[in-house]
Amino acid sequence: MGINQKEILQEIKILDGGHICTPKGFFAGGLHCGLKRKKHDLGWLYSIVPANAAAVYTTNLIQAAPILVTRESIKVDKQIQGVIVNSGNANACTGEEGYRHALLMRHYFAKKMNMKEEHVAVSSTGIIGEQLPINKILDGINMIGKVEESVANFEKAILTTDTTQKHACVQLEIDGKMITIGGAAKGSGMIHPNMATMLAFITTDANVEQEALQSALKTVVDETFNMITVDGDTSTNDMVLLLANGLADNTKLTPDSPDWLHFIQGLETVCQLLAKEIAKDGEGATKLIEAKVIGAASEEDAKKLAKSVIGSNLVKSAVFGTDPNWGRIVCALGYSGVDFDTENISVYIGPYQLFANGLPALFDESEVKTYMEENNEIQILVELHEGDSSAIAWGCDLTYDYVKINASYRT
């Protein structure tokens, strides 16, 4: 669907200081329980009432125990009231014991917060293949209520190799009520379209029908989180969870509601802001890359072409080296699997046209290089003349530090 930026500026307010607990009735916190050396590694999020829940999970065939448990929870009555999440250990490829540990996390958190077990989602992120030190986590859960609740601590607790906390929040009017949508996310490496090593938790006080909520999330994820890449890897633990507790007291939203598309826009704005933050914070990254394709024959073609550009290690390396090497961009377009007229495409980096109608264009290389050196966000535009469809994808440059980080990830 894509976001209409003009409509957003007119009708959707981005809250600079907003976060996952800005929507009514949500609270969060985090602490250090010992999975990592010093940093926060256990976080929790809860609503004062059960919330309609929607989720999208990793496409990796190997799925971690917390994903299985969360799926089971949501299936019961499509509601979630609380989320318990740890970092530092993915609880993936851990067999029956790992599954039992995920169930224990759900059980103890539900008991601590006086919730139904099936109203608890479980999430983990970190090293794959090691059993959770479950007693440390259960001790941490026991500390909830004894430490000060803090959204910032929740945002810290979900991080792994991230260098920054990631949050976003918007407000918009629906049915005469001001509703709020907030979110927090983690992700830096193993990021690739079709879900990645990323977690995103989104809350809203809007009243939304559960089936409609699931449909909305799937649509928006395809336009945002599934349009980013860092390194081409898709992990075992990825999840986007959306909770709507209805405390804004609007008339229940469905796809037939007059304000339905407006709600979708608000949700898409939050997810796009978080997705861009993840791409920008790619492991070792110094620059965000935005690849926009216009004039494609279909939206599917446009998405494939844009993803191919941001997924190219040669393009990513060229951006790191501030080298305006349009040949690498054209090459990535050519192997995207999309059929197009190769003599009718143009390529721009920033405001500079490098390739016009299938041939090199005249440009001042030093000017383009200066643009790439001076900007932290590099825009690549690909113009076709095949139709009216377009798409945007986001990625980051490939640096020496990416190799350093991942060569020593477990040490």
Query: Annotated active-site positions, please?
Result: 197
Query: Was 203 annotated as part of a binding site?
Result: no
- Residue 406 labelled as part of a binding site: yes
**DSSP labels, 214-282:** HHHHHHHHHHTGGGB-SSS---SS-EEEEEE--TT-PPPB-TTSTTHHHHHHHHHHHHHHHHHHHHHT-
Cβ burial of 409 (10 Å; 0-12, 13-18, 19+) is middle
* CB contact at 8 A, 23 and 204: yes
Of 161, 132, 127, 40, which is closest to residue 410 (Cα–Cα)?
127
The response to whether 160 counts as a known ligand-binding position is: yes
Q: What is the DSSP string of 95-149?
A: HHHHHHHHHHHHHHHHHHHT--GGGEEEEEEEETT----HHHHHHHHHTTTTS--
- Which strand (E) or helix (H) includes residue 366? helix 365-374
Is 280 annotated as ligand-binding? no
β-strand partners of 172: 179
For residues 98, 104, 109 and 114, what is the CA-based torsion angle, rounded to 10 degrees? 150
With CA atoms as reference, report the closest residue to 151 among 136, 172, 167: 167
The answer to whether 411 is a known ligand-binding residue is: yes
70 among annotated binding-site residues: no
Residues within the annotated binding site? 160, 186, 197, 283, 406, 411
Residues within the annotated binding site for substrate? 160, 186, 197, 283, 406, 411
